[in-house]
Amino acid sequence: MKQLIIHGDPGIRNGAIVRYQGDDGDGDGESEVVCFGINRNGEYHGPDRVQLWCTVGAEDEYEDYEKRNFTPHFLDVDRVDAEDVEVVRAKSDLAI
């Protein structure tokens, strides 16, 4: 699990699956992750474009996210521009 800061808005919401160039540890530098939670910053006051602060990870880490079985301040952080993010799925299916 890690924090992903996206500069700009690629049009994603909670449950999105995104692919980006980052350090995922397997050598190729490309990561495909699920966005568990998204905080939108800079909408009114702030930088020239919005920033999305996403908590991301593999699908099997979602239970740890739900139970808050992690320390948010100690997550690794990746930064990427919205143009460099490939959106595989823009949002999760609606659960009623």
pLDDT in 10s for each residue of the chain, 96 residues: 999 999 999 999 999 999 999 765 555 678 899 999 999 998 888 778 999 999 999 999 999 999 999 999 999 999 999 999 999 998 887 665
Q: Can you give the residue range of the structural domain that contains 71?
A: 2-89
Does residue 35 lie within any of the structural domains? yes
Q: How many residues would you count in the chain?
A: 96
CB 32 within 8 A of CB 16: no
pLDDT at 23: 63
Does residue 14 lie within any of the structural domains? yes
| 37-31-4-57 Cα dihedral, nearest 10 degrees | 40
Q: How many domains does the chain have?
A: 1
Does residue 95 lie within any of the structural domains? no
